Amino acid sequence: MKALILLTGESFRGGGWLSRRRGSPESYKEQKEACESHVKFIEDANLDADIIVVSYDTPYTREMLSWYGPRLIKSKIHTGKAVGFDNIYRGALDLIDDWSMYDFIHFFRIDIFLKPYFSKVFRWSDKITYAFVVDPIPLLESFPRLNDMMLFVPKNHFDVLKRRIVIMHDLWVWGVIQRCGLTKEVAVYINTIHLSNTQFGINPLFRIVNRPESTKYQWEGWVSPGFLQNPVFIEE
């Protein structure tokens, strides 16, 4: 199967949550670890994968792009202030020349380190697949909030991407999932619930680099609603 990996967002960040500081020397080591984990995932999953990177300019950008080797087919590097998640997301989609050659597209935020467990739960699915649910409270109204630091989109749902819909974590709350007819077409990799920001809560799939990782399991004992659970991805 042919995969397209889209790596997006700010690289070599520092200063923790909400910080816009990037490119400092102390960010180098952990960002390199994150990039290496992306390559390792591709190798562990035995994927035939192309890579596109959309990020921001730092003193280390050229070196970072080299870490992805020949799999890197395109990149777009912004200068100056952050342009926002929507623009980064759509900018990555705009770089795709031939959608037909890919069986699935997988987004990853570029500053996440993929833990080995992610390779164990990753499988191809015919559903749009998020990492996990991030908050149990909206489950009472069946409007789950989803972690959007990684996102699997199979070929049968490329039409959603081509419509340039930004598949963010609050799409159920905003009614986008319902209007797109996708209420039965979304799943999560693991059924346990975790915070998005690993500075405040740990999860088994990834950590955000260049900030401390919490040891707290914020929503222990809570699980995703049944309509999101995919038996392929049940956590052991």
Q: What are 142-199's pLDDT values in tens digits? A: 778 889 899 999 999 999 899 887 767 666 755 677 777 887 888 999 999 999 999 9
Count up the domains in the chain and report the number: 1
At 60 the pLDDT is 96
| Confidence at residue 18, expressed as pLDDT on a 0 to 100 scale | 52
Determine the pLDDT at residue 169: 62
Task: With a cut of 70, say whether residue 74 has pLDDT above it.
Answer: yes
- Domain around 147: 2-233
Count CB neighbours of 164 within 10 A. 11
pLDDT bracket for residue 232 (50, 70, 90) = low
More confident: 17 or 92: 92
Rounded mean pLDDT of 211-222? 92
Residue 27 has pLDDT above 80, yes or no: yes
Residues in Cβ contact with 233 at an 8 Å cutoff, skipping those fewer than 6 apart: 121, 123, 125, 129, 187, 188, 189, 190, 191
**Strand runs (DSSP E) across 93-156, as ranges?**
104-109, 112-114, 128-130, 133-135, 145-146, 150-154
Question: Residue 32: its pLDDT value, please?
Answer: 97
> What's the whole-number average pLDDT of the chain?
88
Picking from 42, 67, 33, the residue whose alpha carbon sits closest to that of residue 53 is 67
Q: For the domain that residue 53 is a member of, what is the CATH number?
A: 3.90.550
pTM to 2 decimals? 0.91
Buried b (16+ CB within 10 A) or exposed e, 56-92: bebebbeebbebbeebbeebeeeeeeeeeeeebbebb
Mean pLDDT of the region 128-143: 80
Residue 130 reports pLDDT greater than 50? yes
Per the CB < 8 A criterion, the answer to whether 189 and 129 are in contact is yes
Element housing 35 (H / E): helix 28-44
Q: For the chain, give the percent of residues with pLDDT over 90.
A: 64
Q: Given pLDDT bands bounded at 50, 70 and 90, which one contains residue 236?
A: very low
